Chain A
């Protein structure tokens, strides 16, 4: 397919200009006449029972238009910051005053907010998952084995979307319009209708009464799939006040309640033969997803020795509940697999590059990983830079290299797309999908324009409106496969109709005509052609409108699932201060056919940078005594800045797996950074810093315990 003009090329993001000039309107930016601002009343305790609400004092406050309770007297609150009421007022300041005046009497209950020390968790521990393959107990007893045992882990982090969770709801008559910051335009309307119908005060609400609009949204990362309690409360406030209401979470609320990536800690044992062949892996892991239960990390990750056993425990804590975070459970699994395996390689006196290449046999795509390890090593100059664990050079700055490998599915979600060709030559497509900033609009536009043989500027991509044909929620890297397939099918059908309209003039059958370079032309005789607009004029007053679907009922496959991916990190550690800096990272990523190269690369750069954030800085710090989140702000909940990222090299594997079709890219590159960086720090120091984030205190503690300090 060398003659593609747009697919696989570096095309500027379609919504780039509106975003880079501040014109893009997000839910948070929405203004409507008479708009009220709502704020949430948050519980200040980690675990408490609501004894009594006193809403009268808040009702009397100036400018208050409506109050909605989000919990009942007698309810148990399970984490600090949990929302118990919402108040709408004329201005943001007055809403805050009313929240301050709102009184709730609580009975404080015992809490637990830390999960790392399992011995303190008592009855809050429950079994989650257990898997055994082969005979691990016997395998670890084998002779001539090198065995490594160690403790590893990583703490809970938050999503910290820059546009907080929230929405504007305008309930007018029978119509409920929701301007939402959501990952699921086609779904949250029905969710809202169901929840409102459950409240007798709201009456029966049909899903068709709700319209969801999401032109742009400021980040989700897996945390914005539901209408959420604040979406329901916002609608109720709009109904009660008769006015449109904006309810966006404050930053502290966003960090306390709007999503965390579960922690994971594990005692791991790994064994290999002296030649480096892995024989057995065993893990005893635990994690918290808040008070509820979360999934178990897939252990061992990617590399599966013949004998393996993993047991996972869930620890219930009074902390903000988990939500999906880019590649759920995979970054944790990568740390709990790639780090102990790297330490085992050290014990074997093997370069981890050689060790992982050798054990690529134990993955389901050995050739992919081997070739990607070679490519990454070349881009990192690994063989020239690598040294055995513990940088022996003089001075207090120690340098090291680490690597990790990963996988993800990324199968296409269901999607419908409607493509229209109008008599004036204009082309548009409509999908109730959403662009989280990943480049969804651009990807769709590329497929549409490529199929029509038009420049990208000639097509219009309409999404973010629940009245368009439905598409799945954007999660799990499922969007790109879904929307490109439905768009491609709708586009092919639509352009066929246009070919029919010009077939007689071109003296050719529909099959003999192609849409290319702005013309409909005879394939065998390209000079026999008719310009796009002239062709469309032949439609008279008729508009072509065709719907394409993923999956296609007649079969056919435009997408696939299952990718590899390798990342390497080069870090410097100051052994006097404990500060870690990333010098360079390399990411090699396959995702089948890359549709939009520029935005795909941006996804990988972004994943590396988010990975640097979580490997080095991000940490939800709870106070054990009070149960409060101590860093519910962006000052102390730290993210990397522009000076913290070093040199980043992204290599998309293109042209090799194109025949597989389109596969999602959001998750895979977000998996490996933590493990790769932790391994690089261990290589620099000659000692493992067991848990992430790799903050200076932990680095210094690890050095003191053993190593080269």
Chain B
């Protein structure tokens, strides 16, 4: 498996073919910071960059293929932008410290903890939230199998798990149980639904491989 240094979040360990670890996670964050610096290539080419903020500044976010123009303070995280300002509440705010994965969204194809990314650095990127690829009427195979295998109780971690699982299967279409355990190790559930999650991920993988894609 190739190493993708811009990957942040749950499936990072899987990307590297080793166990998920704090070290690989921190490398991911480091890469994320690099991305901040690389945020506006035009600004880099024409120094000095003009500072923005601290008050609200205009931002454009591309979420689920739709462009949203908002005015937010530069310090607003992506999770807070999604939840407080745009009413995308599928992603949940739980630890707010890049530990639990409940806020997972997909940015440029990679699973990302949206509590660790600023909304301003998500500009120009392709942001996918759970609302973008699955609905109760037309469930993505991952959601469908979370229901079938009862991989949810209170459900507060569930959207983060579903997004992480989709992002994982997109890159690892043929996982073993051990792969699933590594790939989803960046998400935490309190009710204890992991047995269902393991089964759901494996069966969803089969269905996705079989050409049943929900997106």
List residues of A whose CB falls within 8 A of some B CB.
Answer: 12-13, 15-26, 28-29, 31, 37, 91-93, 160-164, 216-219, 221, 250-251, 436-439, 598-599, 601-603, 605-610, 613, 633-635, 639-643, 645, 648
- The residue on A at minimum CB distance from B157 is A162
B188 touches which one: A12, A605, A610, A634 (CB < 8 A)?
A634
A163 touching B156, Cβ below 8 Å:
yes
Q: Which residue of B lies closest to A643 (CB)?
A: B181
Least distance between A334 CB and chain B CB atoms (Å): 18
0 or 1 for each of B175-209: is its CB under 8 Å from A? (1 = yes): 00000111011011111111111100000000000
In contact, B181 and A163 (Cβ under 8 angstroms): no
What are 29 A-B contacts with C-beta separation under 8 Å? A12-B147, A13-B150, A15-B155, A20-B158, A20-B159, A21-B159, A22-B91, A22-B130, A22-B134, A22-B159, A23-B90, A23-B136, A24-B155, A28-B89, A28-B92, A93-B75, A93-B80, A162-B156, A162-B190, A438-B153, A599-B150, A635-B97, A635-B99, A641-B194, A642-B180, A642-B181, A642-B185, A642-B197, A645-B194
Proximity bits, B78-113, A CB within 8 Å = 1, else 0? 001001100101111111110110100000000000
Q: Is the CB of B135 within 8 A of A23?
A: yes
Knowing A12-B148, A21-B130 touch, does A605 contact B192 (C-beta < 8 A)? Answer: yes
A91 to B76 Cα, complex, angstroms: 10
Question: Looking across the interface, which residue of chain B has its beta carbon closest to that of A15?
Answer: B155
- Residue of B147, B150, B197 near A17 (CB, 8 A) is B147
In the complex, what residue of chain B is closest to A650 when comparing beta carbons?
B195
Question: B97: which of A439, A599, A634 is its contact (CB, 8 Å)?
Answer: A634
Partner of A642, one of B87, B90, B158, B194: B194
Contacts of A217 in B (CB 8 A): 154
Known: A163-B156, A641-B188. A37 touches B84 (CB 8 A): yes
Contact partners of A91 in chain B: CB under 8 A: 73, 84
Interchain pairs with CB closer than 8 A, number: 189
Nearest 9 A/B pairs, CB to CB: A22-B90, A609-B192, A437-B154, A218-B156, A19-B155, A606-B192, A22-B130, A29-B89, A16-B147
Once A219-B191, A633-B95, A642-B184 are accepted as A-B contacts, the answer to whether A22 and B131 lie under 8 Å apart by CB is: yes
Which B residues lie within 8 Å of A633 (CB)? 95, 97, 99
List B contacts of A645 (CB < 8 A).
Answer: 194-195
Q: Find chain A residues with CB under 8 A from B131 CB.
A: 21-23
Taken residue by residue from 140 to 182, chain B's Cβ proximity to chain A (1 for < 8 Å, 0 otherwise) reads as 1011101110111111111100100000000000000000111
Report the Cα distance A439→B139, complex, angstroms.
Answer: 20
B158/A610 in contact, CB under 8 A: no
12 additional A-B pairs beyond A635-B99, A641-B194, beta carbons within 8 Å, are A17-B147, A19-B155, A20-B139, A21-B131, A21-B140, A23-B135, A163-B92, A438-B153, A439-B153, A605-B193, A633-B97, A634-B97
A606: chain B residues at CB < 8 Å are 153, 191-193
B190 touching A161, Cβ below 8 Å: yes
Please report the C-alpha to C-alpha distance between residue A337 and residue B158 in the assembled complex, in whole angstroms: 36
**In the assembled complex, B7 has its CB within 8 A of some CB on chain A:** no
Indicate if the CB atoms of A605 and B102 lie closer than 8 Å: no
Q: CA–CA, A641 to B89, complex, Å?
A: 24
Interface of B is mostly: loop
Kindly list chain B residues whose C-beta atoms are within 8 Å of the C-beta of A24: 155
The reply to whether B92 and A218 form a contact with Cβ atoms under 8 Å apart is: yes
Q: Is B8 close to A, CB under 8 A?
A: no
Complex formed: what's the CA distance from A219 to B87 in Å?
Answer: 22
* A31 CA / B150 CA spacing, docked (Å): 28
Smallest CB separation, B149 vs chain A (Å): 9
Q: Which of B96, B134, B182, B188 contacts A250 (CB 8 A)?
A: B96
- How many angstroms from the CA of A15 to the CA of B194 in the assembled complex? 18
Q: Which of B73, B89, B96 contacts A25 (CB 8 A)?
A: B89
Inside 8 A of B148's CB, which chain A residues have their CB? 12
**B193 partner residues in chain A, CB cutoff 8 A:** 602, 605-606, 609
Cβ contact of B155, chosen from A12, A437, A648, cutoff 8 A: A437
Q: Given A22-B162, A219-B190, A642-B184: A13 and B147 within 8 A (CB)?
A: yes
A648 CA / B198 CA spacing, docked (Å): 12
One of B75, B134, B154 near A21 (C-beta < 8 A): B134
Residues of A within 8 A of B89 (CB): 22, 25-26, 28-29, 31
**Complex: chain A residue closest to B148, CB-CB:** A12
Are B153 and A20 within 8 A (Cβ)? no
Report A272 CB to chain B, min CB distance, Å.
Answer: 35
A15: which B residues are within 8 A, CB to CB? Answer: 155
**Chain A CB within 8 A of B12 CB:** no
Q: Is B114 an interface residue (CB 8 A)?
A: no
- Is there an interface contact between A602 and B153, defined as CB atoms closer than 8 Å? yes
CB pair B185–A641 under 8 Å, yes or no, is yes
B129 interface residue (CB < 8 Å to A): yes
Contact of B136 with A17 in the complex, beta carbons under 8 Å: yes
Do B194 and A20 touch (CB < 8 A)? no
CA distance A609 to B196 in the complex (A): 12
Report yes or no: B134 in contact with A163, Cβ–Cβ below 8 A: no
Smallest beta-carbon distance A551→chain B, Å: 28
Residues of chain B with a CB closer than 8 A to A635's CB: 95, 97, 99
- Residues in chain B near residue A605, CB distance under 8 A: 192-193, 195-196
CB-based contact B156/A20 at 8 Å: no
Whether A219 lies near B156 (C-beta < 8 A) is yes
Question: Are A608 and B150 in touch, CB under 8 angstroms?
Answer: no
The answer to whether A93 touches B73, judged by C-beta atoms less than 8 angstroms apart, is yes
B residues within 8 A CB of A438?
A: 153
Chain B residues with CB below 8 A from A25, complex form: 89
Nearest chain A CB to B84 CB, angstrom units: 6
Q: Identify which of A20, A216, A250 contacts B162 (C-beta below 8 A).
A: A20
Contact A608 B192 (CB under 8 A): yes
Bound form: Cα–Cα A17–B147 in Å? 6
